[in-house]
Structure 1
Amino acid sequence: MKKILGFTLGILIGSVLFLILLVSAILGIKTNQDTATGSYTGAFTADLPVYSEIKGNGQISDEVARFAVGTAVKYHLLPSVVLSQYAYESSWGKSASATEDNNNFGITWYSGAPFPKGTERGSGGSEGGNYIHFPNQEAGFSYYGYMIATQSNFNASVGNKNPGEVLLILGKGGYASAGITADSPYYTNCISIIKSNKWESFYDKFAIKHWSDINFGNGATTGGGGKVGNLEVLQPVLGTTVDNGQCYMLSSYYASKIDPQHISGGLHSGMAAADIGLDYPWSSWGWKVFNNPQYTQIKAGDIINFNRSASVGGWTTDPIYGHTGVVAEVKGNNQLLVYDQAVSFPVTLHSYQYYNGMIESVVEPPK
């Protein structure tokens, strides 16, 4: 069963949900909706929180179980529903789109997607279009959760603790091409899979308990320094090369996109990435510079400038120029997720472990 994720029923679903909530409020009916509801407003990032204590169950491997739970915690969803759709849409991870594109949820490629086209939809392209090709399983799971949490026709799933209700919300939103009703094979099969594998007990209780681990607005683990700037401008270039591929050019691109009034031509006068915090009149533009910043001073959306010869998780920054990028998430426990590029790789999201002296400066965009 394939589907196209879209927004076409957003207004109708919103109206129906409003009436349901209004009637519930009047009659004093308690719904299954948690307080952590609404649309996820952060930028998409491919990483997921990892809970090593989570183990596989039945045909679900440890890795898949952890991806499902990580997705559910990050976007305040239910792992049982994530896993049921994984099982149904990808034949337990064995479909062509799953094995060739790391696309376990039949997500269709569209112009502007953060990842390239994958295999054709349907036998010999009979369904038209292509699936999105994800670089790995983690990215595929995370993007599924991101789309559910951000699209207005699906995001009533956020914070809902009832698997059956969530499946119907997805069905009304158009998840499956044939629709999902309480009598449809899609619904009955997914519910049967959830119940027979006891995923509510195995995984849902755990995820719901850990929803509070994540600052839902930006996907960052609690304890981060907040969010500034506009990370959405980097989504179109994820997986591509900006300008000549040097790390400096990505920070230049970002700065010019979020502050075109002052930086319409990009950052050009500086020669070393490590010195970006010193090379421009940031304060006169309304930006802030923190030299040798503490971890608590770093925010998602900052331009981050690594010191020369800094060890950054398996490699060392250039001894002459250093390195630069844009902070995607401040994840807690001294972890940072950074958009960066180099001549050896396109715009990518990398995880780095912060330590004192690693960062020359961060440059914070104006409010």
Structure 2
Amino acid sequence: MGKIDNSKFIMKLKNIIIKVITFLGLKPLALRYISNIVHQPPFSEADVSDQKIFSTFTSSSGHQFNLYSGFRDRIKPNWRDMLNENATDYPNANTLKTRLHAWENRIQGPFKILKNLGFNPIEKIVLEIGAYDGATAYAISKHGANRVIATDYTTYYYNQLNKENKEFELYKRETEKLFNLRKSYKTIVTEKYYNNVDFVEDDICNTTLTENLADLIVSWEVLEHITEPQHAIRNIFKALKPGGWVFHEYNPFFSIDGGHSPCTLDFPWGHARLNSNDFHRYIETFRKNEKGMALPFYEKNLNRMTISDLKSYCELAGFEIVALIPWSKKSHLEKITHALYQQVIENYNTASICDLSSPSVWIFMRKPIKSDNTNCTSSK
């Protein structure tokens, strides 16, 4: 009983903190990092023992799943924001400063590791894939990059609009939204750092970027959304200068939050435990009003790349993998039963326990120079 009471108290406390920070104009940061505001809650995100069952769902293979009230809120507390497509307000100066400061802190870890490995990003040409509003690109510019080329693919945002019949006007709206978001940072970033960033519309799977363009290529929470990751990694290799480095952080599909906001169902690892037909039936049954967003996102904006696939794609492209780090969570691992894992591999037979228990994966890679004798087709 104590566990249930404590869990409810923590959830109420989180909601109060969100309201206070929202009032102060810092909502995006609150939603993104709220799990870090309250130190170590007495439950895992994967734990549903304190949640009420509101229904059940039976898959085509006969597996019955209990559906839990509040589970999606626990995994993706800001999921409702994705349904608010009519919001036209742009972040105020305080919110922009907070986002920029958050990214200035976030890039420090990978950049420090790169420096320790012998590569200093300062005064280098940096290519960021998946730039969104530009906060990361401006943070990299402030860190000392010589030039930042920030790319993104508007079709990704267009696909996740909650509309069954998407019109070209909606695509134009998303393009304008991204432009205005990036432009809004001009009020808080000095002219030098602002002008140091070039935004480019580009699909890395079918890139128009020139070869040997960048000294460093980076992305955060992007690789899982690329439709053809093997093609993308091959193009990343081409766009990187010989001797250049790559850092990616991504959130794999098979992790507990790998369904992201549109496709996180009402039971742990639901998006990976159902096959495509069952997933469609689930959305039709329980979230019909989200169908226009959830189904295109599931089909077009989430790939099924495993950690093993990532390693293979990078080696085949010619990269030397210096470090591949799955950040597994013990609390998630403890909730992966034999039955749950079997349900996942019925649909995705190459998925591993590590894929399911790692909500974040880091990879550091290097493109060998021509005179380098390094065997870049294998990594041990």
Calculate the TM-score normalised by the size of structure 2. Answer: 0.23
Normalized per residue, the structure richer in helix is: 2
Instruction: Compute the TM-score of the two structures, normalised by the length of structure 1.
Output: 0.24
